Amino acid sequence: MDGVQSVSWSQDGKYLAFIGQTARQTDIYTYNLETKEIKNLTDDIFTDRDPNWSYDGKTIYFSSDRNSYKKH
């Protein structure tokens, strides 16, 4: 991971959701502050941005360019 952007705290304060950026792509990650575990939630070719937790902490909403993808 070359950079981190758009950090969002979960409502319970136990997790961070963020954008991890590499030279090729951006993906959504979570970081557990207690266990120090990082999870990659979207490991794909799409550009993901602006993660935000739902009020109950069960869902992460984000922007993406997935609709512009066409198979050839």
In DSSP terms, which residues pair with 61 in a beta bridge?
Answer: 52
Q: What is the pLDDT of residue 67?
A: 75
Q: Point out the residues of the chain with pLDDT beneath 70.
A: 68-72
Q: What is the pLDDT of residue 72?
A: 52
**Position 55 in a domain:** yes
Q: What is the pLDDT of residue 24?
A: 84
**Position 72 in a domain:** no
| Alpha-carbon separation of residue 38 from 6, 41, 66 (angstroms) | 16, 10, 23
**Position 38 in a domain:** yes
Q: What is the pLDDT of residue 71?
A: 60
Domain that holds residue 32: 3-64
**Position 24 in a domain:** yes
**Position 71 in a domain:** no
> How many domains is the chain partitioned into structurally?
1
**Position 70 in a domain:** no
